[in-house]
Amino acid sequence: MTNIDELTPVEDGHEMRALIRRTSNNQRARRVLISRVMMTLCAVAIAIAIVPLALLVYQLLRRGIPVLSTTFFTKLPESPSLTAPNATGGVSNAIIGSLALNIYASMMAIPIGVLAGVYLAESNSKLASTLRVIAQTMAGAPSILMGLFAFSLFVQDIKIGFTAIDGSFALAVLMLPVIAISSEISVRNVPNTLREAGLALGAKPHKISMKVVLPSALTGIVTGVILALSRAVGETAPVLLVIGGGYLNTWKPLDPVSALPLMIYTNAKSEWPSLRAEVWGIALVLVVVIFVLSLGARLWASRKQQVRN
């Protein structure tokens, strides 16, 4: 190593500068080494995290793509038999069922969730803080609980039987706290200066909420709704106990329906290899739907943000 001391002559009265430069130079090799080791560790950690995910996607594509066909999307399920062991039919009932369940659930959860979020953000009352704790707890509650709740309420107490509406109710209860919390955060993030601007123009508080705060928070609210929806689409547990696993294409709220996650659950346990293979196609469809939903939410939010700036 070169003699650093010679390269950094000490000026009178500035001994500290020389000391810092010398110390820093002496430690350079060690710093570089630590930096390389740390970077390597980070890379390894990323690899460990990504490898299982990549394998999963690979399996999903390799086994899922061959299953997909027009029949898969448009026909009702069939039961394989000894004479026709590969006759699995399609999953149209589960596609329609999943759509119906999530549309009804959204119709229940979005308006209530968004309004609840606005209330949580704008109110300082005891009730609001209590509700916030409940929402946060609910957001972390196991999803089977929602199914159990819907089961006891609709099937056992009200006795309307195993129907789509039971399942959408369970999904709505699942989505509600997620939407409420994300809406609250978005509304809170709206700068107070905008509320003050509204007040200073003589606007009443509810007008400010509707005309100023909600539009400004819309990007965040929609993102939250889509994320809640993409979680609901893939949930099996809440619908498992209540939707009845109907074998028909039906949009009626009071009919028993099937759902994509439910079909994965039932088919995966089947004796028939053809049904077990079909599961990968259903899983692929689900993953694509969820991927499109979350990607769409992100793109929409970032475009909206760009337009504004």
Partner 1 sequence: MEEIVSELTVNSPKQPEAPSALGPAAMKLDNVAVSFHGRTAVRDATFEVTKNRVTSLIGPSGSGKTTLLRALNRLHDLTPGTKVSGRITLEGEDIYRGNITVTELRSRVGMVFQRPNPFPTMSIYDNAVSGLRFNGIKKKEILDEAAETSLRAAALWESVSSRLKVSAGQLSGGEQQRLCIARALALDPEVLLMDEPTSALDPVATLRIEELMTTLKQRVTVVIVTHNMQQAARISDDCAFLLMGEDRAGELIEFGPTQKIFNDPTDSRTLDYTLGRFG
Provide, rounded to whole angstroms, the least separation between the CB of residue 191 and partner 1: 7
Gap between the Cα atoms of 176 and 274, Å rounded: 38
Are the beta carbons of 64 and 284 closer than 8 angstroms?
Answer: yes
Count the neighbouring beta carbons within 10 Å of the beta carbon of residue 54: 11
Q: Is 203 in the site for partner 1 (CB under 8 A)?
A: yes
Residue among 253, 228, 234, 230 at smallest CA distance from 243: 253
Residue among 257, 218, 307 at smallest CA distance from 99: 257
Q: Is 307 in the site for partner 1 (CB under 8 A)?
A: yes
Q: Is 197 in the site for partner 1 (CB under 8 A)?
A: yes
In the complex with partner 1, the residue whose CB is nearer, 143 or 219, is 219
Stretch of 88-96, 209-217, 260-268, 273-281 lying at the interface with partner 1 (CB under 8 A): 209-217
Q: Is 303 in the site for partner 1 (CB under 8 A)?
A: no
**Which residues within the stretch 268-287 sit at the binding site for partner 1 (CB under 8 A)?**
none
Provide, rounded to whole angstroms, the least separation between the CB of residue 202 and partner 1: 3
Stretch of 30-38, 87-95, 210-218, 282-290 lying at the interface with partner 1 (CB under 8 A): 210-218
**Which residues within the stretch 105-124 sit at the binding site for partner 1 (CB under 8 A)?**
124
Residue 153 exposed, middle or buried by CB count within 10 Å (0-12, 13-18, 19+) = middle
Stretch of 80-88, 107-115, 174-182, 186-194 lying at the interface with partner 1 (CB under 8 A): 186-194
Q: Is 13 in the site for partner 1 (CB under 8 A)?
A: no
**Which residues within the stretch 18-47 sit at the binding site for partner 1 (CB under 8 A)?**
none
Q: What do you get for the CA distance between the two ends of the chain, in Å?
A: 53
Q: Is 14 in the site for partner 1 (CB under 8 A)?
A: no
Count the neighbouring beta carbons within 10 Å of the beta carbon of residue 130: 10
Instruction: Tally the C-alpha atoms within 13 A of residue 167's C-alpha that lie toward its C-beta.
Output: 36
Size of the site for partner 1 (CB under 8 A): 23
Q: Which of 28, 36, 211, 252 binds partner 1 (CB under 8 A)?
A: 211
Q: Is 212 in the site for partner 1 (CB under 8 A)?
A: yes
Stretch of 93-101, 112-120, 133-141, 190-198 lying at the interface with partner 1 (CB under 8 A): 190-198
Count the neighbouring beta carbons within 10 Å of the beta carbon of residue 134: 12
Gap between the Cα atoms of 118 and 111, Å rounded: 11
Gap between the Cα atoms of 278 and 26, Å rounded: 64
One symbol per residue from 214 to 243: x for binding partner 1 (CB under 8 A), - otherwise; what is it?
-xx-x-------------------------
Instruction: Tally the C-alpha atoms within 13 A of residue 213's C-alpha that lie toward its C-beta.
Output: 30
Residue with token string 């999530």? 102
Q: Is 300 in the site for partner 1 (CB under 8 A)?
A: no
Q: Which amino acid is at 112?
A: I
Residues that bind partner 1 (CB under 8 A): 124, 191, 193-194, 196-204, 207-208, 211-212, 215-216, 218, 307-309
